[in-house]
Structure 1
């Protein structure tokens, strides 16, 4: 029986790396992975990623400035329980703040 593994990440960069790793290294179907804001507001995470930090962070004067309004949630719907364990470990290795399975 499958499970949905959910993790929250502080930066968009971490979330993108997790999805890439799951799809390329573990064969998770990209259609089975969703990436959303963990809270109600649209967000790019809780913190600047390395590229933004190197540039001094987003310019709040720009219309499309990065919005830091909360964490990013990844949910992976996996069919096999052993793959769910791999997803959980991947989430941990990329710094997930919270992980749960349903």
Structure 2
């Protein structure tokens, strides 16, 4: 008998780019519906991550200063318990700082 219960899994990423990739993996590789995925700052203040990446870095290597880099980004998703191990592996492959489930 399979476990069809739903659980919330959370992962914390250093950059918005990594968080965005995590969302795409959840949708494309694991079939999780976008309304079941949430992205937010890991701390109480708004942040675009704790390290520059993607659109924060200009082609000449300079870093934009208009995006606040004050903390990590959290991605959470409501998933079937049977997908926990696969989603944890995906988050690890994307350099998640922390992964937890409840």
Q: TM-score range by the shorter chain?
A: 0.7 to 0.9
Structure 2 counterparts to residues 21-60 of structure 1, below 5 A: 21-53=25-57, 54=59, 55-59=61-65
Where 2:69 maps in the other structure, the secondary structure is: coil
Q: 1:67 and 1:51 mapped to 2: Cα distance?
A: 13
Q: Name the residue aligned to 2:68.
A: 67
Q: Name the residue aligned to 2:18.
A: 14
1:37-84 alpha-carbon deviations (Å, 9 max, x no partner):
00011000000014433441113xxxxx11001000011111x22212
Q: 1:82 and 1:89 mapped to 2: Cα distance?
A: 13
Aligned positions, number: 96
Q: Aligned-residue CA RMSD in angstroms? A: 1.3
Q: Name the residue aligned to 1:84.
A: 84
Q: TM-score, normalised by structure 1?
A: 0.87
Q: TM-score, normalised by structure 2?
A: 0.87
Could you tell me how far 1:21 is from its partner in structure 2? 1.2
Structure 2 runs not aligned, ≥5 long: none
Could you tell me how far 1:22 is from its partner in structure 2? 1.0
**1:97 paired to 2:97:** yes
Moved more, 17-26 or 5-14: 17-26
Where 1:36 maps in the other structure, the secondary structure is: strand
Structure 1 runs not aligned, ≥5 long: 60-64
Where 1:26 maps in the other structure, the secondary structure is: coil
